[in-house]
Structure 1
Amino acid sequence: MSASLSPESSAAAKVFPSPNHGERKGGQRPNMLILHYTGMPDAGEALQWLCNPISQVSAHYFVFEDGRVIQMVPETRRAWHAGVSSWDGETDINSSSIGIEIANPGHPGGLPPFPDAQIDSVTALAGDIVARWKIPATRVLGHSDVAPGRKLDPGEAFPWQRLHETGIGHWVPPAPIRDGRFFSRGDEGMPIEALQAMLAMYGYSQKITGVFDKDTEKVVTAFQRHFRPERVDGVADASTITTLRDLIARRPQSAA
């Protein structure tokens, strides 16, 4: 992609090309949208890193704190943003997704809030991509959803509900946090098997073993980070389980 070309999305101002991309394997079309934070203190340095051949990482779009959007990789190409990841049985997420990098220091920088101008631009960009590629709401995800434990972005401070209110992504109001029965590392039995089956049904890479092990804790944590961000602790309390049940029950018909 030449810098002289126009961006494919009307939400982007210009093209700043990255060499880090390849062919989508098997001729796949994008059917997922993955959101990331840069996790670096300086947006300019993050952008340069995504365009450096040495880094071996990239994304299709980059959104600055002030709302400016630039395109780095053509949408039909396979950007290198998701790494080792999985969703709903797919393991080559890079070949089936479009990636957006959002400039934010993230957890390493104390999880500062995303500015309104930035989220407005993310919303406009995501809405345009989802409409043009007909990406289902349940396949608008965070990096942490497709790589539980390995990745934390875009983090529990990201306003998923705000995107959902404009028609982007799947969301239900999180069930209130209350005292009561909960499941955590080391628990075993049919309730754990049922929890694991629900997580796998929604799309998470979760084995059904009946044992609440380290991997299950990672998936529960990733789920909370996106869908029940008030408390992210990897403990499957009633709020977490009820929110998961409601998400499954209210999935759009086409995603069932």
Structure 2
Amino acid sequence: MMPEIFKADFETAEICPSPNFGPRKDDRAIDMLLLHYTGMDSGEGAQEWLCSEESQVSSHYIVHEDGRVVQMVREADRAWHAGNSFWKGEEDTNSRSIGIEIVNGGHPAGLPDYPKEQMASLVKLCQSILSRYAIPAAHVLAHSDVAPIRKLDPGENFDWKLLAQAGVGHWTEPMAIAGGRYFSEGETGQPIEALQAMFRLYGYRIDVDGVFDAKTKGVVEAFQRHFRPKRVDGVADMSTIDTLHRLLSALP
């Protein structure tokens, strides 16, 4: 049975309805915008997969390399894009978010650039979504933010700064990478506990137990991939810690 055709929420979007959606649980208000890359060989193949019942995945939108925007799920509905995820104490991020897939081969393809036409369309789409919903700047996130280790998209080559300059998302210029004290996997103690508490306060899923384990390293990498992308190594150096502290200080 073909999914029902609907009117686009974003006025210039084409429609390719996906059968993979459902109601938002508990009538959750939309307060999050999640960005993904497709990680596939072609945009058309990615769109076909997201619109196939077989895949059991979807997103509200896909933005092609030429800037074309296609809507697959109504914004009012719950698309299946985030999977096992967490932010600010809640696991069902699909019920509170709008998901955008951006056509890009991602890490499997060696992190190709995002074309200017694509980024320009993405900015307009995000601005349109933000005009309709009360989404805080710090809730414009990467898939990797809400699912560290498991997901890497949209990747460290994605231009979050460009989005922030257009009023989309939370950003501060990262501190330059230099020497000094750092924390890494295997360390324990109160400083690690304080670091974990900072990441948890920002929204990440992390245990505040004073042990810099593999999960903590994964959260540090996810943060670096979004906010300090020049070096993604899971080491909490002064650049990473200072950037996190300034982002926390800027929260309302």
Q: Which residue of 2 aligns with 1:121?
A: 121
* C-alpha distance in 1 between matches for 2:13 and 2:151: 29
Q: For 1:29 and 1:89, how far apart are their aligned partners in 2?
A: 16
Which residue in the other structure is 1:190 paired with? Answer: 190
Q: How big is the shift at 1:130?
A: 1.1
Distance 1:109 1:41 in 2: 8
Q: Secondary structure at the match of 1:54?
A: coil
Specify every segment of 5 or more residues in structure 1 that has no aligned partner in the other structure, as ranges: none
TM-superposed deviation, 1:29: 2.0
Q: CA deviation at 1:6?
A: 2.9
Shift of 1:71: 0.5
TM-score by length of 2: 0.98
Q: Return the alpha-carbon distance in structure 1 between the equivalents of residues 139 and 125 of structure 2.
A: 16
Is 1:45 aligned to 2:45, yes or no? yes
Cross-structure match for 2:215: 215
Give the aligned CA root-mean-square deviation in angstroms: 0.9
Q: Distance in 2 between matches of 1:115 and 1:19?
A: 29
Q: Which residue of 2 aligns with 1:154?
A: 154
Query: How far apart in 2 are the matches of 1:172 and 1:160?
Result: 10
SS of the aligned residue for 1:182 comes to: coil
Alpha carbons 1:6, 1:14 under 8 Å: kept: no
Per the TM alignment, residue 72 of structure 1 is displaced from its structure 2 partner at its CA by: 0.3
Shift of the alpha carbon at 1:2?
Answer: 3.6
Other-structure match for 1:6: 7
In structure 1, the residue corresponding to 2:129 is in which secondary structure?
A: helix
Letter in 2 for 1:109: A
Q: Percent identity?
A: 56
Maintained 8 Å contact 1:59/1:79 = yes
Q: Contact between 1:20 and 1:53, CA under 8 Å: does it hold in 2?
A: yes
Counterparts of 1:111 and 1:203, CA distance in 2: 26
> Aligned partners of 1:40 and 1:72: how far apart in 2?
17
- SS for the counterpart of 1:141 is strand
Residue 100 (structure 2) pairs with residue 100 (structure 1): yes
For the residues of structure 1 that align with 2:121 and 2:4, how far apart are their CA atoms?
A: 23
Structure 2 residues without counterparts, runs of 5 or longer = none
- For residues 92-138 of structure 1, the C-alpha deviation after alignment (integer angstroms, 9 at most, x for no partner) is 00111000000000000000010000000110001110110121101
Q: CA deviation at 1:13?
A: 2.6
Q: CA shift at 1:163, angstroms?
A: 0.3
TM-score, normalised to structure 1, is 0.96
SS of residue paired to 2:35: strand
C-alpha contact (below 8 Å) 1:171/1:247 kept by paired residues: yes
Note if contact 1:137-1:168 (Cα within 8 Å) is conserved in structure 2: yes
Structure 2 counterpart of 1:193, which letter? E
The whole-number CA distance in structure 1 between the counterparts of 2:178 and 2:97 is 37
Q: Distance in 2 between matches of 1:90 and 1:122?
A: 26
Amino acid at match of 2:98: I
> SS of the residue aligned with 1:85?
coil
Is contact 1:29-1:76 (8 Å) kept?
no
Equivalences, count: 250
Tell me what 2:21 maps to. Answer: 21
Q: CA deviation at 1:171?
A: 0.2
Check conservation: 1:19, 1:52, Cα contact below 8 A: yes
CA distance in 1: counterparts of 2:79 and 2:52, whole angstroms: 13
Question: What corresponds to 2:57 in structure 1?
Answer: 57
Cα distance, 1:206 vs. partner? 1.0
Offset at residue 250 of structure 1 (A): 1.2
